[in-house]
Amino acid sequence: MKIKIGILGATGYTGAELLRLLVGHPHAEIKWLTSEKFANKKISEVFPTLRNFIDLECKSIREINKFKNVDVVFSCLPHGSSMHFAKLFLDKGTKFIDFSADFRFTNLSLYNKLYKLNHINPELNKKSAYGLPELFRKKIKKSELISNPGCYATAAILGLAPLIKNNLIDAKFINIDAKAGLSGGGRAPVSERQFSEANDTISINSISNHNQKPEIEEQLSILYKAKSKLVFSTYNINIDRGILTTITAKLKNSISKSELLAKYKNFYKNENFIRLIDDEKNISTKNVRFTNYCDIGVNIQNRHIVCVTALDNLGKGASGQAVQNMNIIFNLEESDGLQNTGLYP
């Protein structure tokens, strides 16, 4: 039996990646998808890579009351949009997996401030599960509303969780340096992502107040009661996809690299999509492109931990993780539709 699926906002980068994964999923059947810009065009015309895989016509979201009932809706809409549609589907008994920040925050005043919005469905926020399976699997399994984490937040939290859980670092000062491919900024044309602006350079995304910094801090607080303070810097690099994150923090006590790596391996011992890399020089965004894997390596410098993570911002940082969450809530194998290697070279 196939899971019937609807997709809101299917023609951005995350929508394209989600479609690529779902057309190869053994238990998925896409019933409808929306796009305002490409309404009434076939999705295979928008993304020619999907020819002979899926030829559904994109619908306008204004036709939402005519859409067939489905088992799950993925919302790839911008921040501030999903909260207008989630209740409509949840009231029908449809699961809702949201890619935006609309249901990520417990502290809604913080959400309102960060995104300059007023949340219209605060009661739904209390019901949502933060969709990071390695840390919130039990809650995800029981939830009808899943809030997919941010891509930077995924990379940072997966690197930090074993350190904070084992009380290995001083959480009051954590430095996170994250470099991401240009697809992380979305598909809409913006001057700084044009070829002549973005090529042959590395540029600052944010060194002041990136909106995923409070997301990371809040989730670590929920998980471990940690009052972590981050110095969080993000940069754009001229690759299509991928995030390489370097986390540094002061160790509370002396520990060897092998002991540290053993802590990570024990923490993630049952996690299929976490790969612990002994030699951190082998961590690269190229090794995780088009996959749902997060590669993690650790080392020590002058009583400081240095943890490096690599993931695909459209894979484990977005659409791959969303499919992983779908598999959990429908009691499928967690790796269904996600058992692919990276591309080489």
The CATH homologous superfamily for domain 3-127 is: NAD(P)-binding Rossmann-like Domain (3.40.50.720)
**Rounded distance between C-alpha atoms, residue 93 and residue 106, angstroms:** 23
Which pLDDT value is given to residue 62? 95
By DSSP bridging, strand 304-311 and strand 243-251 are antiparallel
pLDDT tens per residue across span 219-251: 999 999 988 889 999 999 999 999 999 999 999
β partners of residue 97? 74, 146
Global pTM value:
0.96
Identify the active-site residue in 58, 76, 151, 294: 151
The CATH class of 152-313 is: alpha beta
**Rounded distance between C-alpha atoms, residue 74 and residue 314, angstroms:** 14
Q: CB under 8 Å to 11, separation ≥6 — which residues? A: 35, 37, 38, 43, 46, 47, 58, 187
Q: Tell me the domain boundaries of the chain.
A: 3-127, 152-313
Which pLDDT value is given to residue 188? 83
Question: Mean pLDDT in the chain?
Answer: 95
Composition of the chain by helix, strand, coil, percent to 5: 35, 25, 40
**Rounded distance between C-alpha atoms, residue 246 and residue 233, angstroms:** 10
- Is 307 among the catalytic positions? no
Tokens coding 36: 């305002």
User: Same CATH topology for 3-127 and 152-313?
Assistant: no
Give me the mean pLDDT over the 147-170 stretch: 97
**Rounded distance between C-alpha atoms, residue 277 and residue 287, angstroms:** 12
**Rounded distance between C-alpha atoms, residue 294 and residue 309, angstroms:** 7
pLDDT tens per residue across span 198-214: 899 999 998 988 999 99
**Rounded distance between C-alpha atoms, residue 142 and residue 147, angstroms:** 13
Tokens coding 213: 């910094």
